Amino acid sequence: MTVFARIKRAAILLVAGASLAACAASPDVSVSPDGVYDPYERQNRKVHAFNRGLDRAIVRPAAIGYSTILPDEIEDSVGHFAKNLGQPSVVVNSVLQGDFRGAGISTVRFLTNSVLGIGGLFDVATDFDVPQHDTDFGETLYVWGVGEGAYLELPVLGPSTQRNTAGKVVDLFTNPLSYTLESPEAYYGTIAGVASGLGTRGRFSDTVDSILYESADSYAQARLIYLQNRRFELGDGEAATEIDPFALDTEGF
């Protein structure tokens, strides 16, 4: 597939993702008093049970082993590498949001860390006081006025919303590097992202375990924490204050 064809496909997916999220977004009147809109709770709980079983059997042991075996310095380098490869996508989304300052910051971070940080293995940009900047197509949809939609729990990927799910799909195609790198280099970012995720799971094992295995209702707790954190990231302060992360929905399904 030519570069032009890939870009054309990405543009089509971008428009389709925006349209899908707009159609999926739900009116405010459907949101419960605690700020949660979860009409698919029964199905979501089944996916949550699957994800928790997957975590217990595979992800948690692998993450703890990964963090135990690898020195912190190497874990950090893998995380920096993955984050750096994602910066071109951050640039694209920043431009789509009209945030040209953010696009400039991410461009400088990418070039600095790619050249001076040995492909992004070292975060030299932070040493030069270049601030961190991160965004995604889910945030782009938020800026465009697309509603949050219903809460969803995705297999393997975990908590999300209809808007963010559409954003995740489109973000698979917003990174310009995916149109310029050939195999196997095109998959380096994905591999590094998975490794970085394992490292994060391992480092915060106690916190994640307390939510998944020690709370009265791990599904409700994870849902509340995710929605609060995501709304905070988007700067949706009014929506974030609607949620009490320690208020558990104990109704069984």
Average pLDDT over every residue of 232-252: 55
Single-letter code of the amino acid located at 103: A
- The more confident residue out of 16 and 59 is 59
Ranges 80-94, 137-151, 175-189: which has the least confidence: 175-189
pLDDT band at 15 (very low <50, low <70, confident <90, very high): low
Average pLDDT over every residue of 91-105: 97
3, pLDDT greater than 80: no
pLDDT band at 9 (very low <50, low <70, confident <90, very high): low
23, pLDDT greater than 80: no
Determine, yes or no, domain membership for 252: no
Average pLDDT over every residue of 223-244: 77
Neighbour-count burial of 88, counting CB atoms closer than 10 A to its CB (0-12 exposed, 13-18 middle, 19+ buried)? buried
165, pLDDT greater than 60: yes
What's the predicted TM-score (pTM) here? 0.82
Determine, yes or no, domain membership for 195: yes
Residue 163 pLDDT: 97
Cβ pair 161, 239 in contact under 8 A: no
pLDDT band at 21 (very low <50, low <70, confident <90, very high): low
Containing structural domain, residue 156: 3-240
Determine, yes or no, domain membership for 247: no
Question: What number of residues does the chain have?
Answer: 253
194, pLDDT greater than 90: yes
242, pLDDT greater than 50: no
Determine, yes or no, domain membership for 111: yes
Mean pLDDT over the full length of the chain: 85
- The percent of residues in the chain predicted with pLDDT above 70, rounded, is 80
Average pLDDT over every residue of 14-42: 65
Determine, yes or no, domain membership for 145: yes
Residue 189 pLDDT: 83
Average pLDDT over every residue of 43-48: 98
pLDDT digits (tens, 9 = 90+) for 126-138: 999 999 999 999 9
Q: Can you tell me the distance from the alpha carbon of 91 to that of 108, in angstroms, rounded to the nearest whole number?
A: 10
150, pLDDT greater than 70: yes
Residue 43 pLDDT: 98
Determine, yes or no, domain membership for 246: no
CA–CA distance from 19 to each of 61, 127, 212, 231, 248 (Å)? 39, 41, 34, 21, 33
Residue 22 pLDDT: 52
208, pLDDT greater than 50: yes
227, pLDDT greater than 80: yes
**Domain count of the fold of the chain:** 1
Long-range contacts of 60-64 (CB under 8 A, 24+ apart): 60/201, 60/205, 60/208, 60/209, 62/198, 63/198, 63/199, 63/200, 63/201, 63/202, 63/205, 64/202, 64/205
Residue 4 pLDDT: 43
Determine, yes or no, domain membership for 250: no
Determine, yes or no, domain membership for 35: yes
